Amino acid sequence: MPKWQHITGKSWAKYLLMTFAGTTLSIILTFGTAGYLDRKEQREDGRQAAMMVIHDMENSADLFRKLADLEEKQFNAAQVVLANADKLGELDADTLMLFAEYILHASSKQFVYDEASERIFLSSQDVWKNINNAPFIDAVQEFYHGRRRIYDDLNSQLFFQKPVPQEQYYKFMINNTEVVQDVLPFVKENVHNANVEFYIKYSFARRRYYQTFSDEFTSIANRCKFMMGITDTELAQYVANRTRSGKPVTAKQLVGTWQQQTVEDVEVQNEYRKDHTFTSHIVSYTAYPYYTGLVAFRYTQQGTWEIKGDSLIMVVEPSGEYEIDRSMISYTPDKEALVNSTLASWDEMISASLEARKAEGPLRNAFCAMIDATGDKIELSYPSEDLESDEPIERKFMMRVK
């Protein structure tokens, strides 16, 4: 501010002008910068919301792609069953079980999807304001409306409804004197069912619909990317940031023994060595009506590992060792024959499965591996293959064994 004695001098106007200009510039810089930062933050929030929606579209497309693949897999199993209807006892248990799952209708809705992103988008005016792209918003609303209509149709159309009610299988289990592991009698009962044959016959139509829906959702997702100027790389980074926490694990950090967090009746322990080999010890505990206690299935497998970027790549050798440990069970004398025959059938099934596994050769598994700040917990994430899961990413956690 100008000094008081200068106000009556010739230069007071100059001081006043400089003061006014400085104050005005300060106001402009302060509020102008704040406004710019606010708009920048809104644009960023809008892009994040847009990527959330596009990711939802791609997840929906991927879900229908998986449905088409599963339909084909189950149809092929059904063809094997139909071709061997007079000698079903010669078919392997996996084929029979796949056929049974193919024709059984659950008591709940058959087709469901995660509505979380849809609810966020449709219920928030702030999201629309931040996106500030009317054609994009229209396209998203069209997608959500179309997806809801498709799922309503899928759950009501007879062509998509599985032909055998779950209650029939339940009654079959009740009337069977054995604990039902073998679905052969159930398959025999339904292999010539007219509704089952009709359902199998129109598998090609269901696959075509699934593939069409997948293509439509993929096209909408790509169109929305163009509208918002979002690249595949940017979207992949968004998904990575959304699904990951911690930092990529290094080879040095991984070396050691790790206990996997699992359900109570399964134990998994992995030992990663400096020479980039590993050993997995897997124990599964099984209860059964014929005995008290638990039978332990112990399996050991070997392989190699490496770290590439944020990925842990494990190559599992097809050979492995297993044993059935019955030392923790007890039973009454009249159940001894049943227990022995049951364990013998389990042993036979496991042996056959391991022999088939050997024919496949080494199995490569890749996980995104992130370690927490303590260095004692690792998150392994990978794409989900479970059609009933709402999450596209599956996660496993391993804790370091001290």
184-209 pLDDT, tens digit each:
888 998 999 999 999 999 999 999 99
Handedness of CA 188, 194, 197, 199 (dihedral sign): negative
Q: What is the pLDDT of residue 335?
A: 92
| Type and span of the H or E element at 397 | strand 393-400
Q: Is the pLDDT of residue 38 over 70?
A: no
Rounded to an integer, the average pLDDT of 99-110 is: 84
List the single range of 26-40, 170-184, 264-278, 353-367 with lowest mean pLDDT: 26-40
Return d(Cα 71, Cα 56) in angstroms, integer. Answer: 23
**In a domain? residue 11:** no
Instruction: Report the candidate in 327, 326, 325, 336 with the shortest Cα–Cα distance to residue 290.
Output: 336
pLDDT tens across 333-360, in order? 999 999 999 999 889 888 888 888 888 8
Residues 109 and 226 in one domain: yes
127 lies in the same domain as 195: yes
Q: Which two tokens stand for residue 208?
A: 């075509």
Q: pLDDT tier at 31 (50, 70, 90 boundaries)?
A: low
Residue 79 has pLDDT above 90, yes or no: yes
Structural domain for 102, as ranges: 42-243
Where among 243, 260, 283 does a domain terminate? 243
Query: Residues 131, 168: one domain?
Result: yes
pLDDT of residue 47: 84
> Dihedral through CA 156, CA 160, CA 165, CA 169, nearest 10?
-160
Whether residues 155 and 226 share a domain: the answer is yes
Q: pLDDT at position 259, please? A: 94
Helix (H, G, I), strand (E, B) or coil at 81: helix
Residue 29 included in any domain: no
Do 207 and 65 meet the contact criterion of CB atoms below 8 Å apart?
no
Three-state DSSP class for residue 71? helix
What length does the chain have?
402
**Of the residues 190, 216, 243, the one at which a domain ends:** 243
Residue 373 has pLDDT above 90, yes or no: no
Given the DSSP bridges, would you call strands 104-105 and 164-165 parallel, antiparallel or unpaired?
Answer: parallel
- DSSP annotation string for 13-56: HHHHHHHHHHHHHHHHHHHHHHHHHHHHHHHHHHHHHHHHHHHH
Distance separating alpha carbons of residues 126 and 131, to the nearest angstrom = 9
Residue 65 resides in a domain: yes
In a domain, 23, yes or no: no
Residues 218, 265, single domain; the answer is no
Task: Judge contact between 257 and 271, C-beta under 8 A.
Answer: yes
Percent of the chain scored above 90 by pLDDT?
49
**pLDDT value, residue 58:** 93
Q: Is 301 inside any structural domain? A: yes
Q: Which of 243, 260, 280 delimits the end of a domain?
A: 243
Which value, to the nearest 10 degrees, does the dihedral of the CA atoms of residues 264, 265, 268, 269 take?
A: 70
What six digits make up the tokens of 166? 């779950």
**Does residue 7 fall inside a structural domain?**
no
Contact 326, 295 (CB under 8 A): yes
Q: Is residue 18 part of a domain?
A: no
Domains in the chain: how many in total?
2
| Per-residue pLDDT tens over the stretch 41-68 | 666 777 888 888 999 999 999 999 999 9
Who has greater pLDDT, 44 or 389? 44
pTM, full prediction: 0.66
